[in-house]
């Protein structure tokens, strides 16, 4: 995905960025200085080659060799136009433009611009969700919040298509945030399709899905937290804790289903099962996990006259109290404490590798924003269209591409890059963490040595003090 950058340049930038927490202005300045150094080195190489070319042109042996090896060009060799040395040196205007291009093309500046743009999208989309739900023809009438958010999201969808084209589909799908975007955009398109109908039911369903998209957009803002050393590891914790909750739900489902069926059979003897009964079958046991017991509602459906389920008139309503006690002990005490223990273990495991996880997340963000457009959505629409067409032409019509086309040069430039950038990020982050651990261990050993020397010095001073006192007493 690191298209358009040389192997050595981005590799060096990755190696320097691992574990380094810098401000945006400092990062952009360092990026500009790095580009200036590379540009000056290239200019020096060009000037050196130019000087060597002029020296060879004035060398008689070089001229004779040129005429012998290129007889067809011997008559025109004297008319070769050689550019002057001054034309190779960039002017002040060109240097200023290049510096501005390097500054605004740095990943940290792109990150800040896209974050501000995404916050603006969240506000506009939220305002569009507050408006009444109408069909598409009425929704697109005039410049409304719905129209602006539609254009904005369309540009973001095109940007995701560009990323999928530039990288392999499997590598793009491996990112959890890309899968999140896929689900979110699918729901948004579904909401638009439902708005094409004039049915009230379809419009209500469209509003529900549209609200879910608004919630997913706000939750997607957490992607920007990856660059923070404090918040980045917390995102990994949440992902792992979700898996732990799924394990808890698998265990809880067995107890939940058995209790729900037994309680419903005890309290609904003379009622036939229906769709409304399914709602009650799930509703009461679910909220009892959070402490809402519904004792009055359950007691009213039995023959018991109190909430202790004791005076039941010979009926079997007392069994409801037994079921509730069993469910509270297993569900609320045993399984919930098991969940807390699992989440605590996950938190400790992630916290012990917080720096490494943050470095990996930081590198992933660097890789993403290095290939991103300088202009945020929706201003990069035309740029993404051109890039998608170029990549499509390169993949599907490789013979029609020029040998010196931009797509071919980009492909050759990225051919030497690692196939699995995530693996490279993990290796670099791990090596950096090992280096920090070694430095910390060496520092601990040094501090222990200094402390031991101080203790020994204090003991020597005490002995010298005793010797001096003894010598004074003997002298007296």
Q: Model confidence over 272-291: pLDDT tens digits?
A: 777 777 878 888 888 888 88
Q: How many DSSP H helices and E strands does the chain contain? A: 20, 0
In this predicted model, which residue has the larger pLDDT, 80 or 365?
A: 365
- pTM equals 0.61
Q: What is the DSSP string of 383-423?
A: HHHHHHHHHHHHHH-TTTS-TT-HHHHHHHHHTTS-S-HHH
Of 113-127, 141-155, 197-211, 397-411, least confident by mean pLDDT is: 397-411
Of 72-81, 200-209, 251-260, least confident by mean pLDDT is: 72-81
Whole-angstrom CA distances from 245 to 27, 240, 282, 343 are 39, 9, 19, 8
Residue 422 has pLDDT above 60, yes or no: no
Only one residue has tokens 């086309």, namely: 405
Q: Model confidence over 251-267: pLDDT tens digits?
A: 999 999 999 999 888 88
Q: Model confidence over 20-37: pLDDT tens digits?
A: 443 444 555 555 555 555
Whole-angstrom CA distances from 128 to 122, 214, 301 are 10, 10, 46
Rg (CA), the chain: 35
Q: Model confidence over 215-245: pLDDT tens digits?
A: 999 999 988 888 888 888 888 888 889 989 9
In this predicted model, which residue has the larger pLDDT, 394 or 263?
A: 263
Q: CA nearest 166: which of 416, 411, 363?
A: 411
Q: What whole-number distance in Å separates Cα of residue 222 and Cα of residue 112?
A: 14
Joined together, the tokens standing for residue 227 give 């660059």
């Amino acid at each position: 995905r690191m298209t358009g950058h040389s192997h050595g340049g981005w590799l060096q930038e990755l190696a320097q960025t691992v574990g380094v927490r810098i401000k945006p202005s400092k990062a952009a300045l360092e990026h500009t200085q790095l580009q200036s150094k590379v540009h000056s080195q290239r200019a020096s190489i060009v000037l050196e080659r130019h000087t060597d070319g002029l020296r060879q042109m004035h060398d008689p042996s070089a001229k004779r060799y040129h005429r012998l090896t290129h007889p067809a060009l011997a008559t025109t060799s004297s008319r070769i136009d050689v550019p002057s040395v001054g034309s190779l040196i960039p002017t002040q205007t060109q240097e200023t433009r290049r510096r501005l291009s390097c500054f605004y093309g740095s990943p940290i500046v792109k990150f800040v611009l896209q974050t501000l743009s995404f916050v603006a999208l969240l506000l506009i989309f939220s305002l569009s969700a507050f408006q009444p739900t109408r069909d598409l023809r009425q929704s697109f009438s005039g410049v409304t919040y719905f129209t602006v958010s539609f254009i904005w999201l369309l540009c973001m969808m095109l940007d995701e298509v560009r990323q999928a084209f530039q990288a392999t589909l499997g590598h793009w799908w491996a990112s959890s945030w890309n899968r999140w975007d896929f689900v979110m955009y699918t729901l948004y398109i579904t909401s638009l399709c439902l708005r094409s109908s004039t049915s009230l039911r379809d419009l209500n369903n469209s509003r529900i899905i549209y609200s879910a998209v608004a919630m997913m957009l706000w939750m997607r803002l957490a992607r920007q937290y990856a660059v923070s050393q404090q918040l980045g590891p917390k995102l990994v914790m949440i992902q792992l804790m979700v898996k732990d909750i799924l394990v808890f739900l698998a265990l809880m489902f067995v107890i939940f289903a058995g209790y729900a069926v037994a309680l419903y059979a005890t309290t609904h003897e003379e009622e036939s099962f229906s769709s409304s009964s399914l709602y009650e079958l799930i509703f009461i046991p679910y909220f009892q996990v959070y402490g809402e017991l519904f004792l009055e509602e359950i007691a009213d459906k039995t023959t018991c006259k109190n909430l202790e389920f004791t005076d039941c008139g010979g009926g079997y309503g007392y069994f409801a109290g037994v079921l509730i006690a069993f469910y509270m002990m297993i569900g609320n005490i045993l399984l919930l404490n098991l969940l807390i223990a699992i989440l605590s273990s996950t938190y400790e495991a992630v916290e012990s590798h917080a720096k490494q996880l943050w470095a990996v997340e930081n590198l992933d963000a660097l890789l993403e924003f290095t290939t991103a457009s300088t202009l945020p959505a929706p201003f990069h629409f035309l740029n993404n269209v051109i890039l998608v067409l170029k990549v499509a032409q390169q993949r599907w019509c490789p013979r029609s591409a020029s040998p010196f086309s931009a797509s071919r040069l980009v492909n050759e430039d990225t051919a030497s890059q690692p196939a699995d950038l995530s693996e490279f990020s993990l290796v670099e982050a791990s090596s950096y963490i090992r280096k920090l651990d070694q430095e910390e261990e060496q520092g601990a050993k040094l501090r222990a040595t200094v402390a031991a020397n101080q203790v020994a010095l204090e003991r020597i001073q005490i002995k010298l003090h005793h010797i001096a006192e003894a010598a004074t007493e003997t002298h007296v």
